Amino acid sequence: MALYAYKAMNDAGRVVFGRIDAINPIDLEMRLKRMGLDFINGNPVSQGSALFAAKVPRRELINFCFHLEQLVRAGVPIVEGMTDLRDSMTHPQFRETIASMIESIEGGDTLSQAMGDYPRVFDGVFQSLIRAGEDTGNLPDVLKSLLEGLKWQDELAAHTKKLIMYPAFLGTVVLGVTFFMMIYLVPKMAGFIKNMGQQLPLQTKVLIATSEFFVNYWYVVIGLPIFVAVAIAAAVHTNPRARYRWDGIKLRIPLIGDILRKIILSRFAGLFAMMYGSGITVLESIRATETAVGNLVIKEGLERVGGMIGDGQSITEAFRNVGLFPPLVIRMLRVGENTGSLDTALLNVSYFYNRDVKESIERVQAMIEPMMTMVVGIILGWIMLAVLGPIYDVITKLKT
């Protein structure tokens, strides 16, 4: 089956472009017709490219889970429910993905097998949960759990973005103010100070030298940080060892690193609880969530946890020996393991971390603003001292 780039016309007479898997042009025309589109032309662009399907926004997956859960719970067959979803879908790539999945299901695949052709849309955790729901006949509840999990992940992503964007914005403002003063303001003052013929103090010489460096080598000041950032990003994406070190550095950043660790562990606990509650074994749940945490250091810790559990250790002992969770969380895990309600204990862990993340972000944001103000104040104070010092000396000599 190949991926075709097609041009078609919808019921409103509007020309639409997109991509969809098909066996041949005739099959392509039939698939588009079932999607309510009139085929105009199409050409194959690659082979077996369902694996490279565009990633779908989380909000679209939330809507998909909500509507499919409602339809399945009402007794609507999967194919009919998926067809209704396809017809109401506004995201073009996701619409094409759903259309291809319908074809696979009609060909004899299960829902989880059809999702397996699109790993960039439905990750391993998503597929495992759907498969567990199909095996246990509890698909509506699994879809509801996925819906709640996706909403929670969306909220965590918002917290993470909020944590990163606010300091980045304030840092950019501080750098912009510093650059303006060094490029424009200080050179004007430096000319006046030099013309006084006064012996300049050390802080004034340092300020003038710094300003001259900014003026003469502004491209280095601007380009070097960009080059370093691009080099680090390239190394992180191409070298697993560099990625591991970078993930470790992120967890050790003062203030922010602790919050990132809590966000990652909250994501893990929520996914683990959802999978374990759906009937998936502990080891399978841990293996499925290893890649979902998004941090190689935490992933390595989870791999060691899985190895210890496989060797016969209890869940509580394994997590305590690895040192991923604090003592309070370990006690919660022990209670859950002893009472047979591990999924409830893990949900409590997720709730504990999620609440702590919100409070920590608010505290960090409350600290960042005065810290940035203090940095600007120090820079301004340095400039004022370096500029006004020689002027004050001249005025003092004139009075004497």
Distance of CA 212 to the CA centre of its chain: 40
pLDDT at 231: 92
pLDDT tens series, the chain, 400 aa = 667 777 888 777 777 777 776 777 777 788 777 777 788 887 776 544 444 455 788 888 999 999 989 988 888 888 888 888 887 877 877 888 888 888 888 878 888 888 888 888 888 888 888 888 888 888 888 888 888 888 877 877 777 777 677 777 877 887 888 888 888 877 877 777 777 666 777 878 888 888 888 888 888 888 888 899 899 989 988 888 898 999 889 888 887 888 888 888 888 888 888 888 777 888 888 888 887 788 888 888 888 988 898 888 888 888 888 887 778 778 888 888 888 888 888 888 878 887 887 788 778 777 877 887 787 788 778 877 777 777 776 666 666 5
Q: What residue ranges do the domains of the chain occupy?
A: 2-49, 58-152
**Backbone phi and psi for residue 375, each to the nearest 5 degrees, phi listed first:** -60, -45
CA dihedral 251, 257, 258, 263 (to 10 degrees): -80
Between the CA of residue 31 and those of 34, 35, 356, what are the distances in Å? 5, 6, 49
The span from the CA of 16 to the CA of 186, in Å, is 57
The span from the CA of 224 to the CA of 228, in Å, is 6
Instruction: Count CA within 13 A, CB hemisphere, residue 346.
Output: 23
The span from the CA of 77 to the CA of 71, in Å, is 8
Indicate the fold that domain 58-152 takes in CATH.
Receptor-associated Protein (1.20.81)
pLDDT at 230: 92
Between the CA of residue 385 and those of 123, 190, 198, 214, 377, what are the distances in Å? 58, 13, 15, 20, 12
Q: How many residues does the chain have?
A: 400
pTM (two decimals): 0.67
The span from the CA of 277 to the CA of 97, in Å, is 28
The span from the CA of 199 to the CA of 203, in Å, is 12
Structure tokens at 315: 């869940």
Structure tokens at 385: 């001292």
